[in-house]
């Protein structure tokens, strides 16, 4: 859900682009944080807690809390609340701690 009209703000959006989220094609705007594009597309669960696998979403929006960490283009633990979205990105729900240089989907 995006704001269509606002009494004070005008939103300077980047180019409309597409990326994949767990294999599904999703649209967003270039340069906005990945988590913002996912939220606009209705995705609220971004990760799961390590031990009890509880769903976790967006929390701090300043790249501090790790609640939004996902795999992006195969790189684990990307802070999606601050990482700018780019055309063709592969965004995946991360399992566990993630492996640097690991196999996609691992």
Partner 1 sequence: MNKAEILVIGSGPAGLKASLSAADQGAGVTLVERDPFLGGQLVKQTHMFFGSKEQYASERGFKIAEKLTAAAEEHPGVRVLKGAAALGYYDDNVVTLELKGRVLPVSYDAMIMATGAQENTLMFPNCDLPGIYGAGAVQTLMNVYGVLPGKRVAMLGAGNIGVIVSYQLLQAGVEVPAIIEAAPEIGAYHVHASKVRRMGVPIYTSQTVVSAHGSDALEKIIMVELDDSWQPVPDTERELDVDVLCIAVGLTPLTEILFQAGCEIAYIPELGGHVPRRSAVMETSVANIYIAGDVSGIEEASAAMVEGTIAGLTAAFNLGYGRDSYEQKIAAANLELDALRKGPTGEKIRTGLQNLKKTGEVRQ
What is the spatial distance between Cα 25 and Cα 11, in angstroms, rounded to a whole number? 24
**What is the nearest approach in angstroms of partner 1 to the Cβ of residue 86?**
12
Judged by beta carbon, residue 18 or residue 64, the one nearer partner 1 is 64
Q: Of 80, 60, 69, nearest to 19 (Cα)?
A: 80
**What is the nearest approach in angstroms of partner 1 to the Cβ of residue 96?**
17
Judged by beta carbon, residue 75 or residue 90, the one nearer partner 1 is 75
DSSP assignment letter at 94: P
Applying CB under 8 A, the residues found at the interface with partner 1 are 1-3, 6-9, 11, 13, 31-33, 36, 39-40, 44-46, 49, 54-65, 81-82, 84
| Structural element, H or E, at residue 61 | none
């Amino acid at each position: 859900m995006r704001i269509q009209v606002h009494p004070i703000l005008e939103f300077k959006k980047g180019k409309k682009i597409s990326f994949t989220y767990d294999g599904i094609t999703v649209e967003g705007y270039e340069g906005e944080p990945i988590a913002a594009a996912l939220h606009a597309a209705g995705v609220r669960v971004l990760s799961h807690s390590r031990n009890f696998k509880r769903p976790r979403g967006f929390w701090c929006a300043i790249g501090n809390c790790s609640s939004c960490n996902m795999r992006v283009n195969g790189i684990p633990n990307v802070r999606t609340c601050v990482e700018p979205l780019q055309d063709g990105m592969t965004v995946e729900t991360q399992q566990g701690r993630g492996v640097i240089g690991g196999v996609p989907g691992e």
